[in-house]
Structure 1
Amino acid sequence: MPTATGRLLGVAQLSLLSAAPPRLVQLAADAGFDFVGVRVRPVTAAEVPFDVQPGSPMLVETLSRMADTGVGVRDIEFLLLDGTDQRDAWMRMFEAGQALGAESLTVACGDPDLARARDTLAQMAEDGQPYGISPGLEAISYQSVRSIPVADEIAVHAGCDLVVDTLHVGRFGATAAELSAAASRAPMVQLCDAPAERPATRDALVAESRSARLAPGEGGLDLLGVVAALEAGLATTPRAGTQLPVSLEVPNDEAVARLGEAGWLEHLHSCALRLLDQQATRAPSADPDAATAATPSETTAAARTR
Structure 2
Amino acid sequence: MTGNARRLVGLAQLSLVNTAPPELVGIAAQTGFDFIGVRVRPVTPTERPYNLQPGSPMLRDTLSRMEDTGVTVRDIEFLLLDGSDQREAWLRMMEAGQALGARSLTVAGADPDSLRLVHTLARMTADGRGFGITPTLEAISYQPVASIAQAADIARQAGCRIVVDTLHFNRYIGPGAAAQWEELSANADLVPLLQLCDGPAVRPDSSEALVAESRSEREVPGEGEFGLAEAVAALPDGLPVSAEAPSDRRVAELGELGWARLLKSGVDAVLAEAATRRDTENLHTAAAK
TM-score for the superposition, normalised by structure 2: 0.93
- Corresponding residue number in structure 2 for 1:155: 155
Where has structure 1 moved over 2 Å in runs of 4 or more? 1-6, 173-176, 283-287
1:278 to 263, 273, 276: 273
Quick one: distance in 2 between partners of 1:2 and 1:176?
A: 28
* Most deviating of 1-10 and 257-266: 1-10
2:204 to 199, 207, 213: 199
- Corresponding residue number in structure 2 for 1:295: none
Count, aligned residues: 277
- Corresponding residue number in structure 2 for 1:46: 46
- Corresponding residue number in structure 2 for 1:189: 194
- Corresponding residue number in structure 2 for 1:61: 61
Quick one: distance in 2 between partners of 1:90 and 1:149?
A: 25
Letter of the structure 2 residue corresponding to residue 164 of structure 1: V
Q: Would you say 1:216 and 2:214 are equivalent positions?
A: no
Quick one: distance in 2 between partners of 1:269 and 1:51?
A: 27
- Corresponding residue number in structure 2 for 1:122: 122
| RMSD after superposition | 1.4
- Corresponding residue number in structure 1 for 2:102: 102
- Corresponding residue number in structure 2 for 1:298: none
SS at match of 1:14: helix
Unaligned 5+ segments in structure 1 are 232-241, 288-306
Contact 2:94-2:133 within 8 A present in 1 as well: yes
TM-aligned CA deviation for residue 98 of structure 1: 0.1
Contact 1:3-1:9 within 8 A present in 2 as well: no
TM-aligned CA deviation for residue 5 of structure 1: 4.5
Q: Would you say 1:262 and 2:257 are equivalent positions?
A: yes
- Corresponding residue number in structure 2 for 1:111: 111
Deviations 1:156-192 (A, max 9, x none): 0111010001111111145321101111010110000
Q: Would you say 1:253 and 2:248 are equivalent positions?
A: yes
Quick one: distance in 2 between partners of 1:175 and 1:57?
A: 43
- Corresponding residue number in structure 1 for 2:12: 12
Unaligned 5+ segments in structure 2 are none
Letter of the structure 1 residue corresponding to residue 188 of structure 2: A
Letter of the structure 1 residue corresponding to residue 215 of structure 2: R
Contact 1:155-1:161 within 8 A present in 2 as well: yes
Quick one: distance in 1 between partners of 2:77 and 2:232?
A: 22
Contact 1:10-1:37 within 8 A present in 2 as well: yes
Deviations 1:68-90 (A, max 9, x none): 00000000000000110000000
TM-aligned CA deviation for residue 276 of structure 1: 1.0
- Corresponding residue number in structure 2 for 1:24: 24
TM-aligned CA deviation for residue 284 of structure 1: 3.2
- Corresponding residue number in structure 2 for 1:291: none
Letter of the structure 1 residue corresponding to residue 238 of structure 2: Q
TM-aligned CA deviation for residue 224 of structure 1: 1.0
Contact 2:230-2:274 within 8 A present in 1 as well: no
Quick one: distance in 2 between partners of 1:203 and 1:118?
A: 28
Identity %: 60
SS at match of 1:278: helix
- Corresponding residue number in structure 2 for 1:226: 231
Quick one: distance in 2 between partners of 1:198 and 1:48?
A: 29
TM-score for the superposition, normalised by structure 1: 0.88
1:177 to 162, 166, 182: 182
Letter of the structure 1 residue corresponding to residue 170 of structure 2: G
TM-aligned CA deviation for residue 2 of structure 1: 2.8
Quick one: distance in 2 between partners of 1:275 and 1:226?
A: 10
* Most deviating of 31-40 and 278-287: 278-287
Letter of the structure 2 residue corresponding to residue 103 of structure 1: R
Letter of the structure 1 residue corresponding to residue 181 of structure 2: A
Deviations 1:183-213 (A, max 9, x none): 1010110000011101111111100000000
- Corresponding residue number in structure 2 for 1:34: 34
TM-aligned CA deviation for residue 95 of structure 1: 0.2
Contact 2:216-2:246 within 8 A present in 1 as well: yes
Contact 2:232-2:271 within 8 A present in 1 as well: no
